[in-house]
Structure 1
Amino acid sequence: MIELLPLVMFAVVCLALMLGYPVAFTLAGVALMFAGGGIIGGIFDPSLLLTFPGRLFGIMSNYTLVAVPLFVFMGVMLEKSRLAEELLGNMAKVCGRLPGGLGLSVILVGALLAASTGIVGATVVTMGLMSLPTMLRHGYQPALATGTICATGTLGQIIPPSIALVLLGDVLSSAYQQAQLKLGVLNLQTVSVGDLFVGAVVPGMLLVALYMGYLLLVAKVKPAAAPKVVEVGESQGVSKLRLVLSLVPVLVLITLVLGSIISGIATPTEAAGVGAMGALILAALKRQLNLSRLREVMRATTRVSAMIFTILLGASLFSLVFRGFGGEELVHHLFEQLPGGVFGAMVVVMLVIFLLGFILDFIEITFVVVPIVGPVLLAMGVDPVWLGVMIAINLQTSFLTPPFGFALFYLRGVAPESVPTSAIYRGVAPYIGLQLLLLLVLALWPQLVTWA
């Protein structure tokens, strides 16, 4: 029974989170409760807790994690500067005459917004407020409109610079080093956030292409579900010029951030600083920057960053106690007993993460689940970059899956009451299928992730 304590710990944490208790304090509280009971019972080494201050210092001095508040600042500033709103309006005027053109515009702008912000919730809410009324007004089927917006909003989970990939990169790097130590490797290698960004580029583009292909197919088979939008009173040439002028700032910012990382000119943290400054400049050029807006953006950035780092501290304590009870050895033993070897273990981990995505945010899963299963899978020979991208896409899929998908809740909060929740659920179903298809493709051809 004692050897099953790590699984009991994990179950207690999930139960407490489902009851609505704060994530960070739940993780730390459960860990301390079990550690205290273990010390009293003589089954937990109290000296392990003395290593926790060193862990805290390591987290707070981690240069990679500085990128998190900078990317959050960049995303919130771009959201407040209404850059996406202008881009969507101009692109809709150019593409609206095509079958499903307005939906294609939503997907393209959502992908650009994801590449600019990396924040799923902000992208879903922004696209919902901007595009859903327009799509419904022009006769788009409610299920198709809401499904497209939800799916597009979650692209920030996989398209760089994604905050999820930043956090996954840091956690997987530690897990990779633990796996190498377990295998007796002396020259330890790491996994950088830049590696994950490069690995996620092709899957992100494939996902956007799949979304667009599906929408074009619907527009051809059922034209009434995605009708053409005919705008009058403005020439096509003027619309294209405005589109180019609105596209240039976004593309320049994406190129500066991603291009500098992929080319090796800058680290992700340095590129995040460039992105934050670029967002400030764009907001100023659009005359959307003032003291009140800057204060609003800084408060939002502080709130999100504090939440992430507090959860990280609680998860670090939970992970320490989990390992102190022999949790890592238990997971490794369970994986070895699974049929199918590495494939079987990978399928189980993907299924568990998918199900946990219903009740936990990607931050909790990254900080709690990945440190537990990551070292074991990596020690079994799984490529760390491929594993990170697969986890990110898997979480993105769970965010769309009824009835608990977070993206569904975000859109339900801003959608008109005339749009039933059942329509949102029906609308995301085809996009969930496309994401599962992408996971299968990446499982069969991992070179699409590890090409670099």
Structure 2
Amino acid sequence: MGDYLHIFMFVAAFAALLTGYHVALTLGGIALVFAALGVAFDVFEPRALIFWPSRILGNMSNQVLAAVPLFVIMGVVLEKSRVAEDLLNATGRMLAGVKGGLGYSVVLVGALLAASTGIVGATVVTMTLIALPSMLQQGYDKRIATGTIAASGTLGQIIPPSIVLIVLADTISNANAQARQTMGQPPSPVSAGDLFSGAILPGLLLVGLYLAYLALMAFIKPNSMPARSKTADADLGIETPSPARTAFAFIAPMTLIIAVLGSILGGFTSPTEAAAVGAIGAILLAGIRMRMDESNPGWLMKISLAGAGSLILLILTVWGIKLGIVGNLPQDAPPSDFFTQSAFGKIYASSICGLIVAGIVASLFTLSNQKKLQISLNGAAEVTSMVFLILICAGLFSIVFRGLGGDEFIEHMLVNIPGGMWGALIVTMIVMFFMGFFLDFLEITFIIVPLVAPPLIMLGADPIWLAILMAINLQTSFLTPPFGFALFYLKGAAPPEIETPDIWHGAIPFIGLQMIALLAVMFIPQLVTTLIS
């Protein structure tokens, strides 16, 4: 029996997770139980457990994972401050009079929210609460409306900066190091920036496929996607926003996205540094947005605006230094040299940073006064705690599973599948797809990926390409009935007249589009590798 404990351990963990027990505690508890059984059957060396504390300390000092709480804060603050709602309403007005215009708005705003929040659940719930009532009131078919919202919400899985990609980057990097060590090759690190670059074209491909499908439906069944009346706001007694308010709705999130992604993809900052910029920028934008609701915004809004402008100026300065336009520094010199080696640089940095700090304080005061700060911080703390608790307990699970010989079993099974790398990849994709029905992406990333990725890399799979395939696959399983998590999020926030079969039928066409994207990335690796420097 001891020779099969690794199989029993995996089955027991899967069964326990299906019962609804807390994920992290389930993984940790199952690991301890099977560690004890392994010691009893003399197939597990208890000294292996001494690596667990060092793994926890390693996670605490991991610069890639440090980006997770910062991106979570960025997404939660933007969600709670109604920046997303303003963006959707402004886009809907812009496309008024166009058949299917509100559907296009949902897809476009879903893509922008994915690039600014990276949290699938938050995006789906936000879009459901904001867009679904408007779509139903406008006469949209329930299936098209719900399918569009669910699919657009899952774009947060693949469009950077995505929490999925950050976690996958750390896992794939470790798997790649393990595979190369086994093959006797020098290490070749995989960064979160590499995955962000690799995910851009597949993400845009998905957005294009969604828009093309909606355009086709608007042509074939125009009554299912009627145009929004240009006087819809007036008919409902809603005051048309001022041009300044409309401009802010577009410019604010776009500026934040460009600042964060541009810094990462341009090689100006690491993902963690860009995440800090994103969190600060989100707080500043939220403070400005909340003050815009007041008849007399006052001096706090001016300070927040000054802070936001200073942050943009600081980002542009750092970009200029990196490009050699500002400072005339030697090649590869850190940007900090510009701010420390001259009197002007010191005064400039002090002034800019002082304004940014003042803007942050003003925005935090505004959010606190509007009862949004505590809600945002609580939400961010819950998501972050969940991620890292699962990560810690998954580390214990991995140590015990490997100690029982589970990694060797998985490697032997994949290597001996007919078809070589392609056969093993297809089987892995199918297994992960069905796992996604029952397990969250964190559980799959922390449990399944470390087991299957090293053998696939040793068989010849490019680690970045493999990670993007896994991300798209998980995105598809998030949308697939009857267990897709995005469908549960949507149903929980939808009005009573939306029934579960409507949601399921609406999601099916978008699942087909995601499968097309998955196959395209699988057979055209250049979609992933083109933008990687």
| TM-score bracket, shorter-length normalisation | over 0.9
Whole-angstrom CA distance in 1 between matches of 2:376 and 2:412 = 47
- Hey, what does 1:145 align to over in structure 2? 145
1:352 and 2:351 correspond: no
- 2:65 is paired with a residue whose SS is helix
Secondary structure, counterpart of 1:358 in structure 2: helix
Matched, 1:429 2:508: yes
User: Could you give the per-residue CA deviations for residues 80-123 of structure 1, whole angstroms, max 9, x where no partner exists?
Assistant: 11011111111111112111111001111111111100000000
Residue type at the aligned position of 2:107: I
What's the C-alpha RMSD, in Å, of the aligned pairs?
1.6
| Structure 1 residue aligned with 2:249 | 246
Count of residue pairs the alignment pairs up: 450
Q: 2:8 maps to what in 1?
A: 8
Structure 1 residues 375-399: Cα deviation after superposition (integer angstroms, max 9, x where no partner): 1111111111111111111001001
Matched, 1:402 2:476: no
Task: Give distance in 2, aligned partners of 1:36 and 1:387.
Answer: 35
Greater mean alpha carbon deviation, residues 23-32 or residues 142-151: 23-32
**Distance in 2 separating the partners of 1:370 and 1:234:** 49
Relative to structure 1, the CA distance from residue 233 to residue 209 in structure 2 (aligned partners, 3 Å threshold; closer, same or farther) is closer
Residue 198 of structure 1 corresponds to 197
Tell me if 1:266 matches 2:343. Answer: no
CA distance 1:387–1:23, shift in 2 (3 Å): same
Deviation at 1:342, TM superposition (A): 0.4
Q: Contact 2:3–2:43 (CA<8 Å) still a contact in 1?
A: no
Cα offsets for 1:291-326 (capped at 9, x unmatched): 131111111111111111000011001111111111
Question: Which residue pairs with 2:207 in the alignment?
Answer: 208
Cα distance in 1 for residues equivalent to 2:242 and 2:89: 9
Instruction: Report the Cα distance in structure 2 between the residues aligned to 1:332 and 1:433, rounded to whole angstroms.
Output: 31
Paired with 1:181 and 1:103, the residues of 2 have a C-alpha distance of 49
> Equivalent residue for 1:128?
128
Distance 2:525 2:227 in 1: 38
Find the aligned partners of 2:386 and 2:435 in 1 and give their Cα distance.
19
Aligned to 2:28: 28
Aligned residue in 2 for 1:441 = 520
> TM-score scaled by structure 1?
0.97
| Displacement after TM superposition at 1:245 (Å) | 3.4
Instruction: Please give the alpha-carbon distance, in whole angstroms, between the structure 2 residues aligned to 1:134 and 1:140.
Output: 9
Query: What does residue range 97-246 of structure 1 map to in structure 2 within 5 Å?
Result: 97-185=97-185, 187-232=186-231, 243-246=246-249
Please give the per-residue CA displacement for 1:32-51, whole angstroms capped at 9, x wherever unaligned: 11111111221111111112
Residue 233 of structure 1 deviates from its aligned partner by 7.7
Distance 1:254 1:88 in 2: 16
* Residue 281 (structure 2) aligns with: 278
Percent of aligned pairs with the same amino acid: 52
Does structure 2 conserve the Cα–Cα contact (< 8 Å) formed by 1:17 and 1:23? yes
Is 1:371 equivalent to 2:450 in the alignment?
A: yes
5+ long unaligned stretches in structure 1: none
User: What TM-score does the superposition give when structure 2 sets the normalisation length?
Assistant: 0.82
**C-alpha deviations, 1:11-43, integer Å up to 9, x for none?**
110100001111101111111111111112211
Contact 1:400 1:406 in 2 (8 A): yes
CA–CA distance in structure 2, aligned partners of residues 89 and 121 of structure 1: 20
Whole-Å separation in 2 of the counterparts to 1:227 and 1:330: 56
Match of 1:73 in 2: 73
TM-fit CA distance, 1:285? 1.0
> Deviation string for 1:348-396 (max 9, x for gaps)?
1101111011110001100000011111111111111111111111001
Call closer, same or farther: CA 1:99–1:376 in 2, change over 3 Å.
same
* Equivalent residue, structure 1, for 2:312: none
Q: 2:362 aligned with 1:290, yes or no?
A: no
Counterpart position of 2:355:
none
| Higher alpha-carbon deviation: 327-336 or 116-125 | 327-336
Give 2:302's aligned residue: none
Structure 1 contact 3–330 (Cα < 8 Å) conserved:
no
Would the aligned equivalents of 2:2 and 2:41 in 1 still touch at CA under 8 Å?
Answer: no
In the TM superposition, 1:310-321 aligns within 5 A as 310-321=389-400
Distance in 1 separating the partners of 2:181 and 2:460: 13
Q: Single out whichever of 112-121 and 56-65 deviates more from structure 2.
A: 56-65
User: Any idea what SS the aligned residue of 1:231 has?
Assistant: coil
- State the shift of 1:242 in Å: 5.6
Cα distance between partner residues in 2 of 1:327 and 1:383: 23
Higher radius of gyration, 1 or 2: 2
| Paired residues for 1:303-342 under 5 Å | 303-342=382-421
Corresponding residue number in structure 1 for 2:56:
56
CA contact (8 A) 1:328 1:376 kept: no
- Mapped contact 1:90–1:240 kept (Cα < 8 A): no
Cα distance in 2 for residues equivalent to 1:143 and 1:64: 39
Task: Name which of structure 1's ranges 198-207 and 241-250 shifts more when overlaid on structure 2.
Answer: 241-250
CA contact (8 A) 1:124 1:411 kept: yes
Cross-structure match for 1:418: 497
Partner of 1:361: 440
SS at match of 2:57: helix
Note if contact 2:415-2:459 (Cα within 8 Å) is conserved in structure 1. no
- Per-residue deviation at 1:234? 8.0
Report if the CA contact (8 A) 1:75-1:117 is conserved: yes
C-alpha separation between the residues in 1 aligned to 2:246 and 2:160?
A: 23
Which shows bigger deviation, 279-288 or 424-433? Answer: 279-288
Relative to 1, partners in 2 of residues 1:233 and 1:50: Cα closer, same or farther, differing over 3 Å? closer
AA partner of residue 195 (structure 1): D
